[in-house]
């Protein structure tokens, strides 16, 4: 669940940043994908750390 939450939060964050910079549709999608992947990886590492602790 942390991974999917990170993906969704990253996509929303990336899309809003690109939209604020007056990006075109492809720019918005590119930022959403990039931030989504980055946040997803952070969520994956957080999930692994939490799983190893318990």
Distance separating alpha carbons of residues 19 and 42, to the nearest angstrom = 23
Q: Print the domain residue range for 45.
A: 2-53
List C-alpha distances in Å: 13 to 7, 30, 48, 52, 53.
Answer: 10, 12, 23, 29, 29
Cα dist from 51 to 3, 21, 23, 44, whole Å? 13, 38, 39, 10
Tens of pLDDT, residues 1-54: 999 999 999 999 999 999 999 999 999 999 999 999 999 999 999 999 999 998
pLDDT score of 46:
96
Q: Is the pTM of this model over 0.85?
A: yes
What is the structure's pLDDT at 25? 97
pLDDT at 2: 94
């Amino acid at each position: 669940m942390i991974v999917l939450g990170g993906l969704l939060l990253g996509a929303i964050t990336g899309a809003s940043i690109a939209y604020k910079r007056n990006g075109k549709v492809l720019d918005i999608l590119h930022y959403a994908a990039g931030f989504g992947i980055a946040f997803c990886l952070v969520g994956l590492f957080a999930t692994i750390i939490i799983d190893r602790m318990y």
